[in-house]
Every structure is written in C-alpha cells, then in structure tokens.
Amino acid sequence: MPRETNQAKAARAKKILAGLQRAYPDAHCELNFSNPLELLIATILSAQCTDKRVNLVTAELFKKYRSAADFAYADLTELERHVKSTGFFRNKAKNIKACCAALMAKHGGEVPHTMDELTALGGVGRKTANVVLGNAFGINVGVVVDTHVTRLANRLGLTKQTDAEKIEQELMPLVPREQWTLFSHWLIWHGRRRCDARKPDCAGCEIAKLCPRLGVNK
C-alpha cells in the first residue's frame, strides 16, 4: 500500500465508519450489566476471556454480590471460586476486592465518572475505564482498544502501532468524538463476525474495498 496522507486516511476512515454503521446498526457492549458497578466488574473479568464466558459467570456472581461493599468484604477464596473459569482468577478476584474497597473508601460505594478516578482504582486501566464511561455513563473520553480493535485498526491501515494507548491516540482524531464508543463496538463486532484473526471473510466483508488487508495473506 503506498504511503497514505493524513487527509486521505481521514477520508477513508469516514467511509469505514459509515460502512460499519450500516453493517452493525445494533452494535452494543456484549457484556451483560444492569448498573455501572456490574459493568466495571464484568470488564475486569473480561481480560483474556470471552464475553460469553464472563456473562455465564456474572449471571450467578451478581446474584450473590450486589454492591461494592459485598465485593469489598467478600471472602477472597470464595470470590476466586466464583470467577475461576474466567482465567487469571486469583489476580482478578484480588483486583475486584481492591477496586471495590477503594469505591467504598473514596466514592461512597459508587462508580466515579472520570478517567482519572477510575484508573486510580485497583485493576482498572484505561481500556476498562473507557468501557465503563462510554457504556454505563455515555461519556466519550477515548476509544476502547482490545485485541479486536488492535487487529482491525492495523489490518485496515489506520495505525501501525501495537501499544493500546498509542493506537487509541491515533484513532481518536479519525473518528468524531460522539462515535468513539460506537466505533469500538463496530470494530469488535466486525472482528467477531467477519474479520477473524486467522481466516478473515474478506469475500463477504462489507468494507473490503476500503481495506488494504495489511498482514493478511491475499
């Protein structure tokens, strides 16, 4: 692919957005939650785990633990048992307890609305904070960069970065702020349904004409 000017990339990104919006008009966060705390916990559990598996776990977990206090004062061994099937369960259980203890100590048990306050919580990085802000509060602070977004952003030639925060900084100027959260959903849905890591369905791809297919055996 010849070197693309920033102006040309921005124009192509606009067309990609339109194409993904047409393909996935109902795209949304596929983690099940009924309040900001549940989304925060589910997102912590989703690291290196499928949303489907997390939803199976939280269906029971949220019946037992209903508040930040419930998680903060939970027996660690018991909490580990509940989240074991999500992988890295000891670290996740420890982070959930630490996060909820901080919510109790600093925020009255409520999930805060700012990036700085969220990322100060145990086990909460920028990606998790973006998920919570965008989907629980409708606040667009940044772009969620997970494995699907990383793969597709590079495959589409929108970035050459591999670091999540650097990818996010390169994507944000290409997308209207009000679409930052949706853009992540569109890429994630496309990654799950069409643009597989090993065998992307390029023949059926809705945005194939806009994609240089970088890293794909053509």
Assess whether 75 carries a catalytic annotation. no
- Which H helix or E strand runs over 55? helix 51-64
Amino acid in the structure at residue 148: H
Q: Rounded distance, CA 41 to CA 23, Å?
A: 30
């989703």: which residue's tokens? Answer: 46
Catalytic residue among 127, 166, 196, 218: 127
The half-sphere exposure of 43 on its side-chain side, counting CA atoms within 13 A, is 28
Q: Rounded distance, CA 191 to CA 149, Å?
A: 8
User: Could you give the angle at the alpha carbon of 144 between the alpha carbons of 140 and 147, nearest 5°?
Assistant: 170
The DSSP call for residue 163 is S
Assess whether 196 carries a catalytic annotation. no
Percentages (nearest 5) of helix, strand, coil residues in the chain: 60, 0, 40
- The CA distances from residue 66 to 36, 56, 83, in Å, are 12, 16, 15
Catalytic residue among 9, 51, 84, 146: 146
> Helices 76-83 and 51-64 meet at what angle, rounded to 10?
140
Q: Rounded distance, CA 131 to CA 142, Å?
A: 9
Active site residues: 127, 146
